[in-house]
Amino acid sequence: MSRFFAPLAATALVAASCGSGSSGSPVVDAGQCAPSTDYVVAPVALSQCDGLGPGTEDCHFRIVTNAGQCCAEKPCDRLVVYWAGGNQTCETGDMDALLKGYADRGFVAACAQPYTTENEGGMYPYHLEFDRMNNLMQKLRIDVATLWTGDKLATAGTSHGGTAPLVIAASAKVFKQHADVWMGKTHTAMLLYDGISNPKTLEEWAGSQSGCGLFHQRYVGRYGDGSPLTHDCGNGACYCSNPAHASDWVKDTVVIGATEPPSPYTCADFAPDSGAVLYRFASCSGASGASPCGILGDIVPDEQQEAPYQALTSCSGVVANYAKYPTCAHLLCGGFTTSENCGGDDGVNWLEANGW
């Protein structure tokens, strides 16, 4: 059973090189892309993530551009790096529909994934993913150097992909200590859809819901002290039972001021030395009538996104925003869909309203 979902099922992949596809070469003005409605797709796998742990699986990124909008002759000024969530993979192209949505809106769009499989991606605390994620960002930026001006960088993701970036932003102080990797020259943002901010309150929620046992197992199992299907303060695995790796739960708690677990972070951990980072949090509460943890139901409750937003609103160097999509399923959250507003267009519109 897939334990995490991510936005938008894949559609047929359209992969082509730049150009109109006609037998002749189109006449193109200097500083312009050749007229095209095709997409350029470039997948990359890094063997064992260049030897970086934890784990030994490959890590991946995949770049998608609209050939008529972003090219070496006319690079785009916007890059979005969308981190894969749960059972989603960059390698297979199941995020291409989402990436093409960003590419059509003037972004160089990339999927990034620190592990190959869903199982490996659920084995480690989020803060330990920094080395792999940082490596992917460095390599990805090199590969898009001719397509992107370097100006505007959005880090985005749903579920796992909306969780790990925020955790490593704070735990590794990326906007201060690794700004050359995680910031754009003029604008930087995070678009976080249905992410986790407090693993303790999340596993307690899952433990109280009928049908959420497998999710509870995954939420707790990430911290290495057992994978119980139910909540119990005497099992040595749930946070309330004082597990051996309790400190990892603490480092993954990104709600400033949280006391259980006691978050170690302050405003300074989320802000750059100068300028500001935009943070947009979005909740998708599940389709109307769907059961929690069902395929269309709520997987990560709204408080997990609203709490970090509220904590960041008073921070200098931060512009925070929160949106709620009460009838959007977790697996669609952050996507560009026509039948249900799940936040994709709203996120782009919010960026543009803030100078993008």
> What pLDDT is stored for residue 167 in this prediction?
98
Q: Kindly state whether residue 10 falls inside one of the protein's structural domains.
A: no
Q: Please state, as a whole number, how many other Cβ atoms lie within 10 Å of the Cβ of residue 224.
A: 15
Q: Which domain does 218 fall in, by range?
A: 199-252
Specify the number of domains making up the chain: 2
**Cβ atoms 265, 258 nearer than 8 A:** no
The residue among 232, 252, 272 that closes a domain is 252
CA-CA distance, 78 to 91, in Å (whole number)? 23
Give strand pairing partners of 318.
277
Residue 205 lies in a domain: yes
Whether 246 and 297 share a structural domain: no
pLDDT in the model for residue 9: 36
Of 252, 267, 285, which residue sits at a domain end? Answer: 252
What is the rounded CA–CA span in Å between residue 28 and residue 33?
7
State whether 95 and 210 are in the same domain: no
Residue type for position 6: A
Per-residue confidence (pLDDT) for residue 3, from 0 to 100: 42
C-beta atoms surrounding 72 within 10 Å: 10
3-class SS letters over 31-91: CCCCCCCCEEEEEEEECHHHHCCCCCCCEEEEEEEECCCCCCCCCEEEEEEEECCCCCCCC
| Nearest-angstrom CA–CA distance, 219 and 331 | 17
> Do 113 and 124 lie in a common domain?
yes
| pTM of the model as a whole | 0.92
Domain end call among 224, 252, 280? 252
**Does residue 214 share a domain with residue 188?**
no
- Do 127 and 78 sit in the same domain of this protein? yes
Q: Assess whether 148 and 168 both reside in one domain.
A: yes
Tokens for 164, please give them: 């790990």
Q: Which of 327, 311, 308 is nearest to 192 (CA)?
A: 308
> Tokens in use for 247?
């400190």
Residues 157 and 214 in one domain: no
**Could you tell me if 65 and 159 lie in one domain?**
yes
pLDDT at 140: 98
**Residue 206 falls inside a structural domain:** yes
Verify that 238 and 119 share a domain, yes or no. Answer: no
Give pLDDT, residue 339.
Answer: 82
Same domain, 85 and 148: yes
Rounded to the nearest 10°, the torsion over CA 117, 292, 221, 110 is 30
What pLDDT score does 309 carry? 98
Q: In tens digits, what is the pLDDT along the chain, a chain of 356 residues?
A: 334 444 443 333 333 333 334 445 555 567 899 999 899 999 999 999 999 999 999 999 999 999 999 999 999 999 999 999 988 899 999 999 999 999 999 999 999 999 999 999 999 999 999 999 999 999 999 999 999 999 999 999 999 999 999 999 999 999 999 999 999 999 999 999 999 999 999 999 999 999 999 999 999 999 999 999 999 999 999 999 999 999 999 999 999 999 999 999 999 999 999 999 999 999 999 988 899 999 899 999 999 999 999 999 999 999 999 999 999 999 899 999 778 899 999 999 999 999 99
In a domain, residue 26? The reply is no
Q: What is the CATH number of the domain that holds 168?
A: 3.40.50.1820
- Shared domain check, 345 and 233: no
Range 347-350 contact pairs with CB under 8 angstroms and sequence separation of 24 or more:
347/156, 347/191, 347/280, 347/282, 348/102, 348/105, 350/278, 350/280, 350/321
Residue 22 covered by a domain: no
Q: What is the pLDDT of residue 22?
A: 43
Q: Classify residue 74: in a domain, yes or no.
A: yes
Strand 76-83 versus strand 148-158 pairing type: parallel
* Same-domain check for residues 299 and 339: yes
